[in-house]
Structure 1
Amino acid sequence: MKRALFAGMLSLFALTGCRWKAEKLPYLGEPEKITKVVDGKQVDELVYPTIPAFQFISQDSVPITEKSFDGKIYVADFFFVTCPTICPIMKKNMLNVYEAFKGAEDVRILSHTIDPSHDTPAVLKQYAKDLGITGPMWQFATGDREKIYDIGENHYLVTAGADSTAPGGYIHSGAFVLIDKEKHIRGQYDGTTEAGTNKLIADIKRLRDEYKND
């Protein structure tokens, strides 16, 4: 009897474990319903938005585009070098993400400055050096101010812009945004907290497992 009960518990645990592994991270954003024909029948499908084409300039003074992240999972955020409030803690937490996946070919980080007039490629290069960043994993992007604000507000779904009443003259979200290899948003995390950062690291691992198991 005990042996049968134990075997049943093992089976239940195995089934539960399989279901847990099969769970996927959600897709964020407002989906569009499209109708397509499958096996001669019309079916409705929800299509979630993706990060559109973009072009900025990296800390290495070279163009950085959406194609730079083809086949990559990446984390996006917004900041400015002279930020007197949340940016230092965000970058400290992002360093934990960087260290967790340093050397991984399929994981990248993209930090957009919202003060491009000050944060030139040379300034961003020094900023990355001061953080101890080497190699291509963590990219810092500057460029056209309005395009940076637009991609933040309308595509990454975070706050990013100038605000004369805010400390430092700019306002931005403290969110870390997780993007999958198809450019879908799969999560947003509080980059100002250790708990939010740890959840992001865990979800990057889950997302990598999704691709391994597909």
Structure 2
Amino acid sequence: MKKLILPLLALLAFTACNQKNATKLPIYGDRQPITKTIDGKQVTDTVYATIPPFSFVDQERKTITQQSLNGKIYVADFFFTSCPSICPTMQRNMLTVFKAYEGKPDFKLVSFTIDPRHDTIPVLKTYAEKLGAKADQWYFLLGKKEEVYQLAEKNYLVSVAEDGRAPGGYVHQGWLVLVDKKGRVRGAYDGTDKKQVQQLIADVKVLMEEENAKA
């Protein structure tokens, strides 16, 4: 799995860094062609992979599902509150993204903890409040470890693992993953790189304009 994820995410990062002049963002993940009949003619369309059903609890003890994010553009990451390495930088940069679109009703941020033993609801709530995150726009989610890890690696394409030799006991990639209103992955950005975070902020705008054009 990791051997597949790393080259793919490297491609995502390369693409993210070269989307400055893009008018439409690419769609990542598995895709499947389907044939349907329209006005008596057979037309081939492409169905893209979407984030599958999940149900976790946020820092306010509210249940958040993938349906809670339907019709929303959002940025997701995977972290743990006691992380001594990349997480503090990632979350500060997530805060920059939050501030860029604060108050936008169709934009959310989602941070999944990969350490459910330590990161209880009170811990997540304290962490979110110290960071300055608003609970109605930025969800810090707690769920079963195996479900979170599967979602990370299979759907958000982020490698995570428990490793007693690593600082804090976990290793994970620092991608900030951009998801559109249909639940499709549209980009991934190094959450420790300010330039890529600025590109993410710009690409959120591109995606919003794309969605508005459809409406």
TM-score bracket, normalised by the shorter chain, equals 0.7 to 0.9
Pairing 1:208–2:208 present: yes
| Partner Cα separation in structure 2 for residue 150 and residue 195 of structure 1 | 29
Give the structure, 1 or 2, with the largest relative contact order (CA under 8 Å, sep 6 or more).
2
| Partner Cα separation in structure 1 for residue 51 and residue 58 of structure 2 | 18
Q: Which residue matches 2:128?
A: 128
| Partner Cα separation in structure 2 for residue 185 and residue 22 of structure 1 | 16
Q: Which residue matches 1:184?
A: 184
SS where residue 56 of structure 1 aligns? Answer: strand
Q: Which residue matches 2:45?
A: 45
Superposition deviation, residue 22 in structure 1: 8.6
Q: Which residue matches 1:67?
A: 67
SS where residue 64 of structure 1 aligns? Answer: strand
SS where residue 61 of structure 1 aligns? Answer: coil
Structure 1 residue runs of 5 or longer lacking an equivalent are 1-19
SS where residue 95 of structure 1 aligns? Answer: helix
Kept in 1, the 8 Å contact 2:23–2:206? The answer is: no
SS where residue 42 of structure 1 aligns? Answer: strand
| Partner Cα separation in structure 1 for residue 22 and residue 116 of structure 2 | 42
Runs of 4+ in 1 over 6 A off after TM superposition: none
Superposition RMSD in Å: 1.5
Q: Which residue matches 1:14?
A: none
After TM superposition, the score normalised by the length of structure 1 is 0.87
SS where residue 117 of structure 1 aligns? Answer: coil
Superposition deviation, residue 211 in structure 1: 1.5
Q: Determine which structure has more spread, i.e. the larger CA radius of gyration.
A: 1
Superposition deviation, residue 34 in structure 1: 1.6
Q: Which residue matches 1:54?
A: 54
Moved more, 31-40 or 119-128: 31-40
Structure 2 residue runs of 5 or longer lacking an equivalent are 1-19
The one-letter amino acid of 1:175's match is W
After TM superposition, the score normalised by the length of structure 2 is 0.87
Q: How many residues align?
A: 195
Superposition deviation, residue 43 in structure 1: 2.6
Q: Give the percent of matched residue pairs that are identical in Structure 1 and Structure 2.
A: 49
